[in-house]
Amino acid sequence: MIKRQVKIGPIIFISIFVLTGCAGSVGENKPWVMPSRISEGNEVYPVQHVDGYIEDGLTALTVTSEIGQLTKIALKNNTAIKVAEARYSEAIANMKSIDAGIMPKVDIGVKTTRTRAGNENSGVAASTSQSSSGSVDLRIPIDLFGKIKVRRRAAAYEVEQTREELENTRIEVMRDVVVAVVDAAEQSQLQSLNKAQLETSRTSYKLTAYRYTKGQANIVDVLQQRDLVASLEQETPRLVAERQGALDRLSLLMGALPGNVATNGFQKLPVLPEIEVVVTPIGLLGSRPNMRALKAGVDAADSQLSSAIKDRLPSFEFSSSAIATLKSGDISSIISSTLSAAFTFFDGGVKRAAIKARRASRERAGTIYIEAWLNAVVEVNGLLAEEKRRITEYALAKARLENARNLHAAAERRYRFGASDYLLVLTAMRTIQQQERSLLTLQSSLLRAQIKLHTAMGGQIIAESS
């Protein structure tokens, strides 16, 4: 008989050499970085010249306690927030699942066997035997190349991404609640002003018609006054519908059916404090939660690419099992330990294609990140310009309203002294009412622009103390 002896040492050495070569052959992942032509500043995208666009800190926008109560209800019941919360919980559960994959796995098994043997035809009594066995299997994954670690890092970035998306959704919902309150209050005040205008126009129409019967006015003047009354009457249903639309949007934001929102507090525009614009263009990357979410998405895609690269490396696992058997009063046991390694020698290019797909996904995430930042800069620039425009228009409208009031006072004095009739007083009153409407519209537009500007820069909205 020929006996052959195999030496273990060379086999272990060759195995380590092959595995080390495998680790070096798959390459490394170079992290994604912001292109220098963009991250260096404002040479390509100049925005630093805009007034008020400076770097400091961003304070929260304080709203009234009544509006704060609405935002509190919206944060609790809004469906978009609930969806974002579910995504966040799902990401946390996924990360915990990966964490559990690093822990040892222990399986315990118990088996009992009862055997009855005999030949009844031969008259031999049947014999019965019983055996019991128990086993314990232990499996410990060995993360030699950090494959589990990089998957866990990708999952952690996904948790961060969904958390920032949740924060962004909350800010957007609070912003929309405040804007809806502004819209509802604006339409409510416009209805009051339209009612006053309609009353003044009807009085003017009656006076013009009376003057026509006395030969002091022509039919054209009467028809013009009648048309003015008709136009104001025609505007009333539109104002009612727009206010109802604002209240319906508010109900939707609060997760309620239309009509379930108290409207008593929406008769006047809310008074908001002055909002400071204190973020640089590059600072939007850190101040806006949606940008932080997209950056976490880029980091997650980067880690997923690293995971796909490491998937080409061998996998190691240590396993051990112990089996004890009790049969006919005798106990026997078997204990074994195994260190296993698995390496894909040929897969037809599946893993290489997976790496290419992950690399393309990372580039796509990075491009979306840059595009979102550029859009954010354009959005803030536009809102800054709109705010500046509305402030100027509002100041001019206030001056015109003051002039209209002076004109009305002068017309009243002339009427009292008999220098003119009352029709000029009514005309001056209509001018005041029209300027009041313009001023209200500009004030509402300014409030909306300031609210959107504040949240566009990543600012929070909080309620004042009751």
- Residue pair 335/185 in contact (Cβ under 8 Å)? The answer is no
In the three-class reduction of DSSP (H, G, I as helix; E, B as strand; rest coil), residue 6 is classed as coil
Q: Give the integer Cα–Cα distance in Å for 175 and 461.
A: 7
User: Domains in the chain, ordered, with CATH?
Assistant: 31-101+146-313+352-463 (1.20.1600.10)
Strand partners for 61: 461
Instruction: List C-alpha distances in Å: 72 to 25, 236, 255.
Output: 56, 33, 12
> Cβ atoms within 10 A of the Cβ of 95, count?
19
Which H or E element spans position 321?
strand 315-327
CB atoms within 10 A of CB 114: 9
**How many whole angstroms separate alpha carbon 28 and alpha carbon 26?**
7
Which residues have C-beta within 8 Å of that of residue 140, sequence separation ≥ 6? 104, 105, 317, 318, 319
Please, which pLDDT band fits residue 324 given cuts at 50, 70 and 90?
confident
The H or E element that residue 405 is part of is helix 350-416
Q: Which of the residue ranges 116-120, 242-246, 442-446 would you say has the lowest mean pLDDT? A: 116-120
Q: Comparing 77 with 16, which gets the higher pLDDT? A: 77
Sign of CA dihedral 280, 284, 287, 292: negative
- Contact of 187 with 420, CB cutoff 8 Å: no
Tokens at residue 418, please?
């008999």
DSSP per-residue letters across 172-185 = HHHHHHHHHHHHHH
Give the pLDDT mean for 434-461: 89
Is a pLDDT exceeding 50 seen at residue 51? no
| Average per-residue pLDDT for the chain | 80
pLDDT given at position 35: 65
pLDDT at 46: 31
Separation of alpha carbons 45 and 239, rounded Å: 42
pLDDT one-digit tens code per residue, 194-213? 999 999 999 998 988 888 88
Strand 315-327: give its sheet, edge to edge: 105-117, 127-142, 315-327, 330-342
pLDDT at 358 over 80: yes
pLDDT value for 436 = 92
DSSP 142: E
**Distance of alpha carbon 356 from alpha carbon 310, whole angstroms:** 13
* pLDDT at residue 274 is higher than 70: no
Q: How far is the first Cα of the chain from the last one, in angstroms, to the nearest whole number? A: 98
- Under 8 Å between Cβ of 229 and 144: no
CA gap 410, 424 in Å, rounded: 10
Of 449 and 11, the structure prediction assigns the larger pLDDT to 449
Q: Which amino acid is at 466?
A: S
Range list of β-strands (E), 59-126: 61-63, 105-117
Report percent pLDDT > 70 for the chain: 80
Strand partners, 110: 134
Poorest-pLDDT segment among 14-18, 145-149, 268-272, 455-459: 14-18
SS3 content of the chain, % helix, strand, coil (to 5): 60, 15, 25
Query: Where is 228: in which H helix or E strand?
Result: helix 219-253
What pLDDT digit, counting tens, does each position of 375-397 carry?
A: 999 998 898 889 889 999 999 99
68: phi > 0 → left, psi -120 to 50 → alpha, else beta; which?
A: alpha
